[in-house]
Structures are given as C-alpha cells and as structure tokens.
C-alpha cells in the first residue's frame, strides 16, 4: 500500500514535470514568435529603405523637371519679351514720326 507521503511526493513530482513542460512549451513558443517578429521587422526595414530610395528618386526627377520647365520658360519668354519691346519701340518711333511737328518734309 502507498503511504500518504509517497502519494504526495508522486503528485509533487508529476506537478513539477507538468509545470516544467508547460514552461518549456511557453518558452519555445515565445522564441518562435520572437524570431518571426524579428524577421518581419527586418523585412519592413528593407521595404522602408527601398521605398525611401524610390521617394528620393521621384523627388530628384521632380526637381529636374522643374529646372527644365524654368529653363524652357526662360528660353521661350526672353525672345518673346524682346520681340514685344522691339514692337513697342517701332510703334513709338512710328508715332513720333507721324506726330512730330518739326519733321522736315
């Protein structure tokens, strides 16, 4: 027959084993989750670096396009303005010639 002390000792041993196995399972599960989270973090960091590079490229392209547009506007505007000034000068010259009372025949 099993004594009360032997029974209690057996229960204690089984309880300790059960708790130990549960703790080992929880630790293993935590390690798996931690590894998964670290891999996800690395992937997200890599994606972030790639997206940042794409944003930098897009910003540079926009700056280049803006500079080209400014140059095109200057290239188009300057001759146009010169032509307008020349036309005004010619108009004024014509006006002075027609209104000049001291004009010699």
pLDDT in tens, 36-82: 999 999 999 999 999 999 999 999 999 999 999 888 887 777 788 88
Q: Tell me which residue of 66, 43, 37 sits closest to 51, measured CA to CA.
A: 43
Give the Cα-Cα-Cα angle 39, 40, 44 (nearest 5 degrees).
120
**Cα–Cα distance for residue pair 44/73, rounded to 1 Å:** 43
Whether the per-residue pLDDT at 13 is higher than 90: the answer is no
Whether the per-residue pLDDT at 104 is higher than 60: the answer is no
pLDDT of res. 99:
61
Q: Please, are residues 97 and 103 in contact by the beta-carbon 8 Å criterion? A: yes
Domain boundaries along the sequence of the chain: 1-97
- Token pair of 97 as six digits: 């010639």
Whether the per-residue pLDDT at 101 is higher than 60: the answer is no
For residue 92, count CB atoms less than 10 angstroms from its CB and return exposed for 0-12, middle for 13-18, buried for 19 or more.
Answer: exposed
The verdict on pTM exceeding 0.75 is no
In terms of pLDDT, which residue wins out, 62 or 14? 62
């Amino acid at each position: 027959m099993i004594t009360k002390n032997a029974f209690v000792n057996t229960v204690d041993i089984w309880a300790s084993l059960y708790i130990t196995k549960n703790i080992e399972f929880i630790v293993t599960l935590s390690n798996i989750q931690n590894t998964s989270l670290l891999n996800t973090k690395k992937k997200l960091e890599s994606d972030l670096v790639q997206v940042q590079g794409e944003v930098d490229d897009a910003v540079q392209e926009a700056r280049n396009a803006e500079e080209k547009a400014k140059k095109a506007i200057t290239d188009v505007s300057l001759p146009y303005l010169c032509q307008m000034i020349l036309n005004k000068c010619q108009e004024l010259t014509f006006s002075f010639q027609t209104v000049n009372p001291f004009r010699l025949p």
